Amino acid sequence: MATWFECKIRYNKLADNGMNRKVTEPYLVDALSFTEDEARIIEEIAPFISTPFTVSRVNPANISELFKSEAESDDKWFRCKLAYITLDEKSGAEKRITTNVLVQASDLRVAVKNLDEGMKGTMADYIIVSVAETAIMDVYPYASKADDKQESKVAGEVQ
């Protein structure tokens, strides 16, 4: 199971009017600890930001699952709160267990569609409690160094 951390990167960004302004952008990283998370976000972000930057905040993210989309238009991330409905065997009463999932989509309608598509294989009944757009810029799932070497080896064979 993934352990997600929300990292906030602070740096000077060139605005549309040509002025530099300080921005703080959130990213989601799968890591084992705060230390690994900070090291991974620095490694991932460094090639894309030419100005000095700082990791201003690292917080554990309460995300149980992630549904990525292959569509290029799906460039936003939506936090969906789900309630699973279970029956208490002793009392026979319905019990709701809530969880948060992150869905990549272009808008709210597509987010609900992608969520339903991702949840298609589950056996549990669920209710979508809420869907909200997040400010998350990108998501970096865990990839071991062995996976990276294997990918580059396969890519070298294809060429």
Task: Reply yes or no on whether the pLDDT at 12 is more than 50.
Answer: yes
Report yes or no: 96 and 85 within 8 Å, Cβ to Cβ.
Answer: yes
Helix (H, G, I), strand (E, B) or coil at 94: strand
Q: Is the pLDDT of residue 114 over 50?
A: yes
Convert the pLDDT of each residue in 45-100 to its tens digit. Answer: 999 988 899 999 999 999 999 999 999 999 999 999 999 988 878 887 888 899 99
Beta bridge partners of 22: 12
CA distance 23 to 11: 6
pLDDT at 28 over 70: yes
For residues 128 and 126, what is the distance between their CA atoms, to the nearest angstrom?
Answer: 7
Domains of the chain, by residue range, sit at: 1-61, 62-135
| Proportion of the chain in helix, strand, coil states, percent, rounded to 5 | 25, 45, 35
| pLDDT at 151 > cutoff 50 | no
**What is the pLDDT at residue 156?**
45
In this predicted model, what pLDDT tens digit does every residue of 93-112 receive, in sequence order? 888 899 999 999 999 999 99
User: If you classify domain 1-61 with CATH, what class do you get?
Assistant: alpha beta
* CATH class given for the domain over 62-135: alpha beta
